[in-house]
Structure 1
């Protein structure tokens, strides 16, 4: 027999059982940061080939916008303010990975610090580069997200991607 909300302990146990059987999504959150020369910040992860927008994977129960703030503080020692959402990309299962929701947020324009360098072993380097150079350095999936983020800035509204393909 299904418990009712009138018995809060039984009801919460019932809901927790349902929650435990629901699928979990991996969540990635990146940020588009530009300097005064309108270059974008890219990072070169030490654990995989190619460059990325700065950010990373959300921890359990962490909001995506807090993920980018935490990741940039940990990895680059940068304090970032998130200004809004630019891109949501649902990524289909691939290889050994389940599906994922990837966010790209707009961050404040930062001046170029005296020396931009990684603060932990996850990154080998970080640099502000032109959009053209970013398109050269980024892999296909991240290149599409960057293009969508730039489009979102131009149009003044977020872009939704379905495995890298614009839906609207």
Structure 2
């Protein structure tokens, strides 16, 4: 079987990246019997200037997109696109726009354990942020995601503290 490698550069707080991941997953499922696909998740920080504690998501998006009406339009469009690929966006649940540096560190550490664990972590981070409104900049959330993906809690706790 032929194998290809895809490098995906994304941030887990980018809704378009989440849509792209869902669409990529669907495309891979269509060719899985003919082509093996390895995905490397590469970091991109959508908001590198956000402080460690994050920001007020609603206020930051309104400033970034030009007002609450523009945010509502974008969210409606994304919600519709998400529904088509099985994503249940819940933008109202997102209170904190997180700093994603530690989320990217977690994705990197998960890759050391293997692509399967990295994929689980990436999927869980997107879902936590966009469908559950969890703060993916919070170490407790990151530790929960890491543990559920099969990573060692104490190792990840030590790494996050470093």
TM-score for the superposition, normalised by structure 1: 0.28
**Per residue, is there more helix in 1 or in 2?**
2
Structure of larger gyration radius: 1
Tell me which protein shows more strand as a share of its residues. Answer: 1
